[in-house]
A and B are shown apart, each in its own frame.
Chain A
């Protein structure tokens, strides 16, 4: 009985907070747009009994999914999102790995402080932090004022409302998700492994590639997925920092939903996005499981 409860609890949680909302979204994506509240049809009406339910199901179709293929805005947005997420993940890894490495090799008494510095930004609202980047990156922003003040250039840089600003925003926001898993992998590593590698004829750099990198692989993979998965659907950063030229699926979804009030198409966009995300999520889970098996 106790075991049943222990297993049932997480399943109930998933059912209520994941499966049920997903079914609702899926249902909306199969519906048609209508000027009403809610703005789609059909709605399930139990008062008419069995015929009502039958009518409800017969009114559902894949029209909206077909629609997504007719307008190239959608697939372009998906591809663009994947591309941005991919590049942003690589950049975050590039910035995050040295930080994690530095933290793992810092003296013991420094580590809590460094860890705190990584986590500290989370104590401020995400929105406020993205707005501050607007203040830093805009044409009259702090960065340009600083660079112009130094006399390094005569014309201000245009960063805000370009993909560069989106990358800066994403790398900044998701950096802790990259640093923490890599740090925890590096921190667990036995320092004598590197000495052993050196003792057996490796240079320091070679030992890093042959020992440190493979042993932090699970951390790297976990960090990359933790950045990649939410970045694909990212909406706030591209809409605030990327301007109108940055095409990302999260923004398209938002516009369908709020500007066009076309819930069924927005639902279809969301379902396809979820299908795209399932691949990396499954890979991520497998990586986690592999790591647990290695440790177990």
Chain B
């Protein structure tokens, strides 16, 4: 079987499942969503990522039908969903608090939506059994929600929202209440379930690692706007703004002025510091302000000045963040600029090459950094 890349957003023929068209949502004077237009495709696992108050939850609640857009339209499979109340939408939601009905058993919770559809008893029983199997909850069918663990409750909530086989499943911080270890396992489980059922998932999260792990595309939001929506890899490697670069992962931002050189831009950023070189597809005018974003793992740290790289800066180690598998060195340059460099801890800690206050050289290639306008 040949593996085809799943990238409907690059296919002009693909029909989006959800279309936001100039959607604005205001609460009084406050603009929660500011004139947004974007598409979500079938079978996508789409993540809305941003700090609290960025509008990601509002976006999701508009899809569920609990909020109506102030301006603009939202289309689901080509149909305007504004007049459809939440109980008639082919959209289901998994709530952050799980919102399991405490007076009903796990079985009854999962059957709740099916019963509302007036399905026959046998159909309901078969579907609930299928959902219990999918989420490995068979043994707990007769328990009440307060008699099972947090992780199990999370799976009940997922099973309940999937039971009606919605076109679109909304997940509001689905793993927020789980501890770190369980969360990781559950992330993969979510991806498996999404793949098995073929449902389109939209997940809201403030946890960038979670978004990167599960999503086919991540939309980074700030202040009611989607700043960038792209695959996790492109979001990380090719952020379109300082905000995105800074929000996702660790990064060093060096601000300076650009000057066109041969093949790469020359960036001068501080008095007495050497010029840096960076290749960029974005056009910069000579003398234009620019921001060079470099991921710490792309920066090498050496005792001697490397001869094979043009970008080399000298500084002293200010801080070492030891993460077990990795160490992040915070290196202070002469002008006060701090640059982060990350190395894998392939040796035991006692054999570490560098320690606090050491003079070191940082270096990276012309293509390692990305040049941003703002």
Chain A residues packing against B (C-beta within 8 Å): 190, 192-193, 195-203, 206, 211, 214-215, 217, 294
Q: B146 touching A190 by the CB < 8 A rule?
A: no
Chain A residue contacts of B85, Cβ below 8 A = 198
B80-123 near A? 1/0 per residue, CB < 8 Å: 00000111100111011101011100000000110011000000
Measured CB to CB, the nearest residue on chain A to B160 is: A200
Measured CB to CB, the nearest residue on chain A to B85 is: A198
Which of B64, B96, B101 is in CB contact (< 8 Å) with A199? Answer: B64
Q: A196 touching B102 by the CB < 8 A rule?
A: no
20 contacting pairs across A/B (C-beta < 8 A): A192-B95, A192-B97, A193-B99, A195-B64, A195-B66, A195-B86, A195-B95, A195-B99, A196-B93, A196-B99, A198-B87, A199-B64, A199-B86, A199-B93, A199-B161, A200-B116, A200-B164, A201-B88, A201-B113, A215-B102
Q: B87 touching A199 by the CB < 8 A rule?
A: yes
**Range class of the B interface residue count:** 20 to 34
Q: B103 touching A214 by the CB < 8 A rule?
A: yes
Q: B95 touching A201 by the CB < 8 A rule?
A: no
Cα distance A276–B360 in the bound complex, in angstroms:
90
Cα distance A137–B364 in the bound complex, in angstroms:
92
Q: B146 touching A211 by the CB < 8 A rule?
A: no
Measured CB to CB, the nearest residue on chain A to B93 is: A199
Q: B99 touching A201 by the CB < 8 A rule?
A: no
Q: Kindly count the residue-residue contacts between A and B in the assembled complex, taking CB atoms under 8 Å apart.
A: 56
Cα distance A211–B117 in the bound complex, in angstroms:
17
**Ranked 7 nearest A-B pairs via Cβ:** A200-B113, A201-B116, A196-B99, A192-B99, A214-B103, A198-B86, A192-B95
Which of B96, B103, B112 is in CB contact (< 8 Å) with A200? Answer: B112
Chain B residue contacts of A203, Cβ below 8 A = 87
Which of A202, A214, A217, A294 is in CB contact (< 8 Å) with B87? Answer: A202
Q: B66 touching A190 by the CB < 8 A rule?
A: no
Distance (whole angstroms) from the CB of B127 to the closest CB of chain A: 13
Chain B residue contacts of A195, Cβ below 8 A = 64, 66, 86, 93, 95, 99
Q: A200 touching B97 by the CB < 8 A rule?
A: no
Chain B residue contacts of A199, Cβ below 8 A = 64-65, 86-87, 91-93, 161
Cα distance A97–B64 in the bound complex, in angstroms:
30
Cα distance A190–B101 in the bound complex, in angstroms:
10
Q: A215 touching B103 by the CB < 8 A rule?
A: yes
Q: A193 touching B117 by the CB < 8 A rule?
A: no
Distance (whole angstroms) from the CB of B93 to the closest CB of chain A: 5
Measured CB to CB, the nearest residue on chain A to B103 is: A214
Q: A202 touching B116 by the CB < 8 A rule?
A: yes
Chain A residue contacts of B87, Cβ below 8 A = 198-203
CB under 8 Å from chain A, chain B span 122-168: 146, 160-161, 164
Chain B residue contacts of A196, Cβ below 8 A = 93, 95, 99, 101
Chain A residue contacts of B97, Cβ below 8 A = 190, 192
Cα distance A197–B99 in the bound complex, in angstroms:
9
If A190-B97, A195-B66 touch, whether A201 touches B117 (CB-CB below 8 Å) is yes
If A192-B97, A215-B103 touch, whether A200 touches B92 (CB-CB below 8 Å) is yes
Distance (whole angstroms) from the CB of B267 to the closest CB of chain A: 50
Q: B116 touching A190 by the CB < 8 A rule?
A: no
Q: B93 touching A193 by the CB < 8 A rule?
A: no
Cα distance A197–B101 in the bound complex, in angstroms:
9
Chain B residue contacts of A192, Cβ below 8 A = 95-97, 99
Q: B112 touching A197 by the CB < 8 A rule?
A: yes
Cα distance A197–B86 in the bound complex, in angstroms:
10
Cα distance A197–B96 in the bound complex, in angstroms:
15
List 15 other contacts, CB 8 Å, given A196-B99, A200-B164: A192-B95, A195-B64, A195-B93, A195-B99, A196-B93, A196-B95, A199-B64, A199-B65, A199-B92, A200-B116, A200-B160, A201-B88, A206-B116, A215-B102, A217-B103
Distance (whole angstroms) from the CB of A221 to the closest CB of chain B: 13
Cα distance A197–B112 in the bound complex, in angstroms:
8
CB under 8 Å from chain A, chain B span 7-37: none
Distance (whole angstroms) from the CB of B107 to the closest CB of chain A: 15
B160-184 near A? 1/0 per residue, CB < 8 Å: 1100100000000000000000000
Distance (whole angstroms) from the CB of A201 to the closest CB of chain B: 3
Distance (whole angstroms) from the CB of B320 to the closest CB of chain A: 44
Cα distance A203–B65 in the bound complex, in angstroms:
13
Measured CB to CB, the nearest residue on chain A to B92 is: A199
Chain B residue contacts of A200, Cβ below 8 A = 87, 92, 112-113, 116, 160-161, 164
